[in-house]
């Protein structure tokens, strides 16, 4: 057991007798520095090694030039032992804490821990393989990849020549939940209502975690090149498409040029 006039060196820092929990290694006992946390997560990978040196309690004198490193287990305040892989699990928490402290020290603030959804989204974005008519942008910058925009310029079909902007909001539990997608461009379309809600089956009942952002963008592109009247959000547009495709084409052209269709005005998007 360490005496009152001894200190312990942990990661080149000196701590006095009263600052330590009990720790142990075969045949010898030491103390380890207390941490402010109360939930047991305070024990770190630094607990794997400890150095004992002679000196006074304030650490002003160090008698031994070389520390005698010893592998140890640790014990919490309740007397429970922690060792091996359980210590290493704690190491991850400590690493995160150290990164946060390093960010604070350099005036950058705490580093944000990425959710599983963010990690998956990073993968999806890095693997995007979109048509030339589709582009993706991140209006909030690189620090917010969970909110982004996709611009689609159809090169065929009723909406050829138009430019349509869609917003994506991705949750932290993505891909177990589909992104929330809205059309910011007011469009005369049977499957997109005037509030920008989009009727796309893979965003609703047909969503599966194996699907990705690339799949959704292609679905939106297909919706603009081949609108259908069978699952409408804009019933009036769906009826016209079903009964009179020529009139539907004329209405789409009027809307994209910046005009009025029925009682609704559409801003120019070509």
Residue spans per domain, the chain: 6-105, 116-265
Residue closest to 47 by CA, chosen among 16, 70, 14: 70
Pick the catalytic residue from 42, 47, 134, 199: 199
Query: Can the peptide bond before residue 98 be classed as cis, meaning omega within 30 degrees of 0?
Result: no
**Token pair listed for 109:** 């603030």
Scored b (16 or more CB within 10 A) or e, 150-171 reads bebbbeebbbeebbbebbbebe
Question: What 8-state DSSP symbol labels residue 89?
Answer: H
User: 117 Cβ partners below 8 Å, 6+ apart?
Assistant: 146, 170, 171, 172, 173, 174, 175
Quick one: 116-265 is in which CATH superfamily?
Ubiquitin Conjugating Enzyme (3.10.110.10)
- Per-residue pLDDT of the chain in tens (270 residues, 90 and over written 9): 333 333 333 443 444 434 444 444 443 444 444 443 333 333 333 333 333 333 333 333 323 333 343 333 444 333 444 443 333 334 445 555 666 676 666 666 555 678 899 999 999 999 999 989 999 999 998 788 999 999 999 999 999 999 999 999 999 999 999 999 999 999 999 999 999 999 999 999 999 999 999 999 999 999 999 999 998 999 999 999 999 999 999 999 999 999 999 999 999 999
Helix (H) or strand (E) holding 168: strand 164-169
Axis-axis angle for helices 235-243, 245-256 (nearest 10): 130
**What's the pLDDT at 104?**
67
**What's the pLDDT at 220?**
98
**What's the pLDDT at 259?**
97
Alpha carbons 124 and 251: distance in angstroms, whole number: 36
The angle formed by the CA atoms of residues 124, 201 and 193, to the nearest 5 degrees, is 105
Transcribe 115-149 into DSSP letters: PHHHHHHHHHHHT----TTEEEE-TT-TT-TTEEE
Pairing of strands 164-169, 147-152: antiparallel
Does 199 qualify as catalytic in the annotation? yes
């Amino acid at each position: 057991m360490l005496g009152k006039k001894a200190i312990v060196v942990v990661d080149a820092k000196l701590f006095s007798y009263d600052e330590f929990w009990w720790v142990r290694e075969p045949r010898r006992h030491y103390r380890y520095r207390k941490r402010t946390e109360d939930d047991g997560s305070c024990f770190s990978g630094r607990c794997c090694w400890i150095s004992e040196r002679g000196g006074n309690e304030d650490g002003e004198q160090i008698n031994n030039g070389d520390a005698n490193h010893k592998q140890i287990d640790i014990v919490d305040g309740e007397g429970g032992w922690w060792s091996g892989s359980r210590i290493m699990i704690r190491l991850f928490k400590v690493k995160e804490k150290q990164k946060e402290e390093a960010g604070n020290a350099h005036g950058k603030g705490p580093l944000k821990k990425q959710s599983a959804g963010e990690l998956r989204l990073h993968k999806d974005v890095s693997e995007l393989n979109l048509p030339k008519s589709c582009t993706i942008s991140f209006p909030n910058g690189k620090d917010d990849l969970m909110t982004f925009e996709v611009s689609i310029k159809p090169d065929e079909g009723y909406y050829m020549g138009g430019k349509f902007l869609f917003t994506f909001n991705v949750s932290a539990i993505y891909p177990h939940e589909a992104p929330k997608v809205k059309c910011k461009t007011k469009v005369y379309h049977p499957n997109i209502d005037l509030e920008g809600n989009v009727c796309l089956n893979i965003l609703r009942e047909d969503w599966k975690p194996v699907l990705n952002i690339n799949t959704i963008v292609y679905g939106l592109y297909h919706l603009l090149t081949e609108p259908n009247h069978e699952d409408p959000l804009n019933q009036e547009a769906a009826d016209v498409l079903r009964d009179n495709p020529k009139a539907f084409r004329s209405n789409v052209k009027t809307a994209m040029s910046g005009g009025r269709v029925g009682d609704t005005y559409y801003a120019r998007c070509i």
